[in-house]
Each structure stands twice: as structure tokens, then as C-alpha cells.
Amino acid sequence: MGTLKTVIEHLKDPALVADVQSYFGVERLPTTKSSRTESQVSPEKVNGTNSTVHKRNIQKNVDDQEPPTPSVASEEDSDTEDTFSSDVDAETSGYKVNKKFWFYLFTLGTALGDELFYATFIPFWFWNIDGAVGRRMVLVWCINMYIGQGIKDLVCWPRPGYPAIRLQKKWALEYGMPSTHAMVAVSIPFSVLLYTMDRYQYSAALGITIAFLWCTLICVSRVYLGMHSVLDIVAGLGLSIGLLIPLIPLVDHLDHTLLTWRWSPFILLCVSIFLVVFYPRRGDRWTPTRGDTAMVLSVTAGVHIGSWTNYQLGIMREPTLSPPYAILWPSFEMMGLGVLRTVIGLSCILATRAWCKWASYATVCALLRLNASDIKKQCYSVHNHQKNIVELSYKFITSVLVGFNTTYLMPSVFRLLGIARPTFYTEM
């Protein structure tokens, strides 16, 4: 038991994160005498519990400190909440990146777990690759994210402090254990791998290699950027692998039920709303995790409701051939149509998101008899129930419609324009 505790403490140690950063060429710049003295005598700073803000210039020393506050100031656009610095941020001394290759590679790697990646990859997959695999992948991703995000707000472990260097401010308000990036690094590539191995004819070894490299890149990038301890990564990997074992066969069977059962939309919406309302959390510290989780749940509901609509209208039908299918390598014409679908589709989704965000925000405020401008200016806080209700409601409504557009509206537009993927409506 003592050995296990020692291993856990070692993996949790921010010094291990600093060692990884040093190995890949991140150098801490010397601090001023006063800054060094303060960091030695203040246990709060050593433990990383004071709020800090990193300057964008990576070669400049930063000595500014802000006191911790119980709430976070709101911006005009609530989507900028991820740019705030955390009250568990690392020491504010400057740093220098000596090996640019690793910096850009790991910045790209961590982007594979961003909202922007989800917003482009998921629609691209449905419109250009395989809807049946897409529905299953999204459901596995959703369950992994909800459990991981919920555990974060229950465990409440801070992100690595000194001597780790924070190279990124995004998600700094969230807690660190477990790493949901690590969970996504397992759930997305390996669910795709497992759902396509028996569906398409391709080299399993190649698929495993790509999934492993994808997973490794994301996980190492989170440590490199100073956003997670090694223990956070290990916990995220272990949790996601443990969840995949029952989820892969369960989701495979559940997908057909959600597609064909007449009450699926009602159940999906009710379960999603229930999970958002009763989202687990502990303590009085506000984090954006609940809002992010609401978007994941609602996108998943929208994707499945859109697919259900296709089936109920008789547009979707059983395929005439049974798997495994031969992979059709794209011709120039197919690639051109794929690019056209992606550009038109993403443009329409961006427009839908912008309009729905404005309309739903105004509508919810009107229903609650609140002033939308005043709500936007208020602070983020677990005790600001009015703002929380408005924020969660508009994110939920907007994301449901984005998911619905991905699997129903945009494929219908593609069909009218004559650029639809031929097998889209046979992927059950």
C-alpha cells in the first residue's frame, strides 16, 4: 500500500511535468530576486493556489499576481470563458521554447481534443465517411466526457503548479483529474477502430497504429503544455479503457434502438436535460465544465434525433449489401464533392450556431423576464443561478440544433444540390 501511495505521489508531482517539459526543450527563465523570495516563503504560491496570468510573449518574465476571487468576470461573449486564468495556475516566471518542432506538434495534438476539432471532425465524418460509425462514436464520446467531467468536479484536484510551466491558459479554470483529453484520446480513435474493423476491409495493424499514435500525441501534449500531471493522464486513460469494454457492445445495440424507436427523441432530450440539471459538483468554485458537458450531451441528442428523423421519414433504409465493405479510395471528383459538402455544411452550421445562440439567449431571458445585456455582464458564479440557467439553456438549445443539422438538414440540402454521398442514407 505504501509503494502504491509513493507511485501515485510521484506521478502527481509537478516536478515530473517540469522534467517532461525540459526534455522537449521548454526552459524556465530566471526569476527576479523578489519573485523568487516570494515563491519560497508563500506556501500558497508553491502549491499553485493564487491566480496568475501568463503573458503571451514566451521570453518575457511575468510577476503580476491577482488575488483569488469567488467568481469570474463575464465577457460580452460567454464563449471566451476559456481564456481566463485559473486560481490554481502555475508559477508566473517566463519561459523559452528551444525546440519549436515539439511546441507546434503538441499544440496541434492538444487541438485534437478541442471544441473546434469536435465541431469540424464530427460533421466531416458524417458527411464524407460513415454515418453508422459516426453515431456510435459520438455516443461513446458523450458518455466518456460526461463521466470524466463529472469526476473532475467531484475530485477537485488542481492542475500542476510550480515547477511546471503553464504554456496554455485554455481550460485553466477546470480541474485536472482525470484528463478528459486523455479520455477523448482513447474514446474517439479506438471506438472508430473497433466499429470499423468488422465493417470495412483494411489492415487492422494500420488502424491500431494510427489510433495509438493519435492517443499518444494528445496525452503527451497535455503534459508538455503543463495542463495535466502524469497521474491525470494515467487516470483518464484507465477510466476510458475501462468504459470502452462495456460501452462498445452496448452502444452497438443501442444505436439501432435509438434509430428506430418512436419515442427516441423524447427520451434523448429528457435524459440529456436530466443529466445537465443534476450534473455532479462539489464546492463553491465555478468552472466552465458544466456548460461544456451540456454542449456535448445536446450535440449527441441532436445527432441522434436527426438520424431518427431520416429513418422515420423513410429516407434511410437498410443497405442491400452486408459488411465488410471494400474501402473506396476517393477519385478527384469524390474529393471535390467532399470539400464542397464540408465547406457548405460548416458554413451553414456556423450561421445556425450564431443565429440560434442569439435567438435562444434572448428567448430564455425573455421567458425568465431578465435583461439579456445585464445577464451577459454578470459574473460567473455557482451562486448566480439566473446566469447559469440562461447560459446552460442557450448552449443546450444551440447545440441540439447543430447536431440535428449535421445529420438531417445538411444531408437534405446536399441531396437537393446533387452532391450527397450515395451511401449516407443506407448506413444503419
Residues annotated as part of the active site = 181, 228
CA distance 187 to 189: 6
Q: What is the 3-state secondary structure (H, E, C) of 349-402?
A: HHHHHHHHHHHHHHHHHHHCCCCHHHHHHCCECCCCHHHHHHHHHHHHHHHHHH
Identify the CA nearest to 187 among candidates 136, 250, 151. 136
Identify the CA nearest to 173 among candidates 292, 264, 61. 292
| H or E element, residue 20 | helix 14-23
C-alpha distances out from residue 81 to 222, 289, 379, 393, 425, Å: 20, 11, 11, 16, 38
17 within 8 A of 226, measured Cβ to Cβ: yes
219 within 8 A of 185, measured Cβ to Cβ: yes
> Nearest-5° angle of CA 369, CA 374, CA 379?
115
Parallel/antiparallel/unpaired status of strands 65-66 and 51-52: antiparallel
- Indicate the residue type of 259: L
Q: Is 13 helix (H, G, I), strand (E, B) or coil?
A: coil
- Indicate the residue type of 165: I
Q: Which three cell numbers stand for residue 83?
A: 481564456
CA distance 362 to 202: 50
Supply the DSSP string of 42-65, one letter for each residue. Answer: -HHHHTT-SEE---S-TTS----E
For residue 67, whether the previous peptide bond is cis, meaning omega lies within 30 degrees of 0, is no
Identify the CA nearest to 417 among candidates 121, 135, 122, 127. 127
In sequence order, the β-bridge partners of residue 136 are none
CA distance 322 to 328: 16
In sequence order, the β-bridge partners of residue 325 are 200
Q: Which three cell numbers stand for residue 408?
A: 438531417
| H or E element, residue 122 | helix 115-128
Q: Which three cell numbers stand for residue 394?
A: 442557450
39 within 8 A of 91, measured Cβ to Cβ: yes
